[in-house]
Structure 1
Amino acid sequence: MDKKQQLFNLAGLAKRAGKITTGEELVTKAIQSGRTKFIFLANDASQNLIKKMTDKSKFYEVTVCQTFSEIELSQAIGQNRKVIAVVDDGFAKKMESLMTE
């Protein structure tokens, strides 16, 4: 199984475990409160959203993954979303290690 598929599966697992926050506003709040460990950002999201999320993530030192399109992200968690924040250390560490392998 390739890394992209593993990340996809982990996103779904994190969703079922209740360890994600979705939607621009909630994700922004989660980043600012320091709860966010990892972010999935759709690579086909609007430039405005991409800039906002990458700027926030850099400032708060949160890893951003832009591997997936909006359709793929939505399939992974079963909801239409452009941005997903992972709020669990375990999931985030595993996702980061998959991205750096």
Structure 2
Amino acid sequence: MNEKILHLLGIARRAGRLSLGNDAAIESLRKGNARMVLLAANLSPRTASGVRQAAEEEEAAVVTCRATMDEISMALGKRTGVVAVNDAGFAEKLLALCKAQAAGTE
């Protein structure tokens, strides 16, 4: 399932629909562009807390996936643990994949 999520993230990156990194994701949230935020499994609790707070203020979904920062960096070409998805279609599909992953139905 991680492969599907990472592949979709790669497509969204090439389409220019992602904001990568903590600062860029929070800025995207504050501007109202981010539809959801994806957090790496091994992201520090302090960073995750700040992103969750910003997402809560803007009523955007926040999902922690099973992928690590290294796996995300391989898919996107940049080392990051925070990815803001700025497209409703990509966000909807990623949320569905993450929910299926959490439920164990792959």
TM over 0.5: yes
| Structure 2 residue corresponding to 1:9, chosen from 7, 15, 18 | 7
Residue type matched to 2:55 in 1? S
Query: After TM superposition, which residue ranges in structure 1, 4 or more long, deviate above 6 angstroms?
Result: none
Aligned residues: 99
1:86 aligns to what?
Answer: 85
What is the 5 A alignment of 1:1-101?
3-67=1-65, 68-101=67-100
> Distance between the aligned counterparts of 2:99 and 2:39, measured in 1?
17
How far is 1:85 from its partner?
A: 0.7
Structure 1: gaps (5+ residues): none
Structure 2 segments unaligned to the other structure (5+ residues): 101-106
Q: What is the SS of the residue equivalent to 1:93?
A: helix
**% identical aligned pairs:** 26
Q: Which moved more, 1:52-61 or 1:27-36?
A: 52-61
CA RMSD in angstroms comes to: 1.3
List per-residue Cα deviations over 1:1-59 (Å, max 9, x = no partner).
Answer: xx322111100100111111112111111001110012121221222101101122222
